[in-house]
Amino acid sequence: MQTEPATEADRTAAIRLKAPWIIVSCSVRDDYCVEVTFSDGTKGIVDLKTDVFSEGAGVLAGLRDPFVFARVGIVGGALTWPGGIDLAPDAMYDDIKSSAGQV
């Protein structure tokens, strides 16, 4: 019989162990790019310039200020910025794995 993890932290830890797309480190690069490393060791560069400066940028427009963009961090395995801005790591992972974005 399989049991459920007892707490939210336990459930989150269980997901991290199974999901290769969890971001474990990141660093800001030039020109609105972020280098990310995923839990399975995959590394790549995420270029956000087009998204941040598009007419339909929505909440990402808040990242146009390079000082705000540089405040990227990781919460729950996803890239996050002040103001509640975050990006889905699974889509990033798929893009990096299927393109020349790996480093």
Instruction: Give the span between the Cα atoms of 69 and 48, in whole angstroms.
Output: 10
Q: Say what percent of the chain tops pLDDT 70.
A: 80
In a domain, 19, yes or no: no
Question: Taking Cα atoms as reference points, which of 35, 22, 31 lies closest to residue 88?
Answer: 22
Domain enclosing residue 29, as ranges: 25-97
The mean of the pLDDT values for the chain is: 86
In a domain, 4, yes or no: no
Convert the pLDDT of each residue in 31-72 to its tens digit: 999 999 999 999 999 999 999 999 999 999 999 999 999 999
In a domain, 73, yes or no: yes
In a domain, 70, yes or no: yes
Which structure tokens are listed for 60? 């990402």
Total domains in the chain come to 1
Largest alpha-carbon pair distance within the chain?
A: 52
Can you give the CATH number for the domain in which 36 is found?
3.30.2020.10
In a domain, 3, yes or no: no
In a domain, 31, yes or no: yes
- Angle (CA) 35-12-6 rounded to 5° is 165
The pLDDT score that the predictor gives to residue 99 is 80
pLDDT over 50 (residue 3): no
The pLDDT score that the predictor gives to residue 23 is 96
Write down how long the chain is: 103
In a domain, 62, yes or no: yes
